[in-house]
Structure 1
Amino acid sequence: MTYADAGVDISSGDRAKQRIKYLAQKTFTRNVLSEIGGFGGLFKLDTSKYQQPVLVSSADGVGTKLKVAFELGIHHTVGSDLVNHCVNDIAVQGAVPLFFLDYLATGLLDGVVTEKIVSGLADACRANGCALIGGETAQMPGFYSDGEYDLAGFIVGVVEKEKIITGANIQIGDVLIGLPSTGLHTNGYSLARKLFFEVAGYKAEQYVNALKEKAGAALMKTHRSYLNVIKKLTAGDYVNGMAHITGGGITENLPRILPKTISAVIDLGSWPVLPIFEHLRELGNVSQDEMQRTFNLGIGLIAVIPAEKFKRVKSMLERANEKFYVIGRTVKGDRKVIYQ
């Protein structure tokens, strides 16, 4: 018997890796010292740009949004979802991305699907100025159902030690501004899929009047990268803290950056909640508290701005045509989110 008899086609994997190599090389910067295919990716940190460089890392996945991708046969955008999610996670601490690695595991390797996924990864890496320097493509027959796969990503960025943003400088009276999301991003899909496909009985290709688009298209909106606007905020030393609103919503993510003696008051109605969230709430009669703990509700990033700098931030964002909403303020408290 051969490995192929057991379900692992090494030759097919090798062909896919050649295509991956081509796509990844298009993201390389001059700091990448290795080729795709080595045992480890090599990246030279340009220390001339930093006095005290600090590396910032993060890892994440796409979650059950992949189930929608499987059904629709859309595999390019999940790669972008993954990169943008990871970029945002380190950018809110002031870091710029350096390099990215992915982990793709499937039962039977499909070269066409693999290329679409990696193409999405590469496109997002280039857009964020990040090199895709390696990863792992695993064939695991019997572990995944036919046509299914899992996808995870690992990112490393850098920030000057004195410019790390942790939220420690947040003070009472700071202004909270929210930047809009494109949709669910990569969180809350287990509940969203249940409501759409089981409770409502929608098909992925079915047009939904309440959304003015097809069900699957609404769920597959790409997770937005906030790197460019974050760079503007950090360059002007405008922020005391930033929170990427992912799983757990504002309720659980904003307290991660608040000092122990400060809470955040969020003004409900201060931003337009996207139609998909209202429709999900109606479909499942979901409580407001559950919605706030599960979804981003239209706000993908919150920046905490000192009150005295707010006018400058407002002017800067308007000049850059960046849409934003004033959604609340910080008050004395015990690291909680208070909705009003």
Structure 2
Amino acid sequence: MTEPTLSFADCADAQGGHRMAYWQWGDSDSAHVVLCVHGLTRQGRDFDVLARDLVERANGDVRVVCPDVVGRGQSDWLRDPLGYQLPLYALDMVALLARLHSERAIESLDHVGTSMGGLIGLLVAGHRGLPLPSPVRRLVLNDVGPTIDAAALQRIGSYLGNVGRFATLQEAADAMWQVSQSFGPHTSAEWLALSEPMVASASQRTSDGSAKTPGDVNQGPFVLHYDPAIAVPFRAITAEAAAQGEAVMWALYDAVTAQTLLTRGAQSDLLSAATAQAMTHRGPRARLVEFQGVGHAPTFVAPAQSAAVVSFLFDQ
């Protein structure tokens, strides 16, 4: 399969529920599911290159599922912006896995998470109370850990919620590059491929923010494809709440039983070298792989980055 299929899972919330979009690669009848979850302002098509590589390595016998976390991409927007937090995201993943399990029993479950997607992975893999169809077998945390550098949060907060308005796709891609150069070297074609799913026609959303059927992204003007309100709970975080959250995330990390790979941009400002080293000595004792010339966060587009994940999931 060279292109994914788009489906939707019904998820619960206090305002009556929402739909979460997900992109599926590989064999829908495979019992092996690899769930790939993106970062804070991104969407599921970030994993296109990795998903193709995983399907090829598995000779097609894998379901690679890449959701658009609620508020992003083709997923609905929440009526209450305070819902844009990790507990709801984790419950949405449980709902998605239940749907996938009903279609074909999941016998082997892996989780790949970039930044926010990695924190979601800690809840999914480390929380004993979640009704998963199968325990997480292998966990990939991409440039994130229980302790997050405050300066990185300030950097992200400086642009979070600014969805812009761009005349062309290239203009939007150029604007995203200005705040994403820490992703590391990409060719113009690679960056444009990552950027295209990140934008929507300004008329591509209904009045309540829910996604319309994907349209022609060549029809401008364009905005970034996420709900600006995801910034509301992010900016409400206090120092006390951050410290409490860090303690919870370390407890979840220590409870992980899945084999764990920690990938890190060697110049990351979000995951410090000290935190990464600590993660190799406690909890699941993650195997650490660093990529030079990359900050926050590796995109798994470069062959060496993708190969590290593919090897961990299939060759270890």
Assess same fold via TM > 0.5.
no
TM range (shorter): under 0.3
TM-score by length of 2: 0.27
Larger radius of gyration: 1
TM-score by length of 1: 0.25
More strand by share: 1
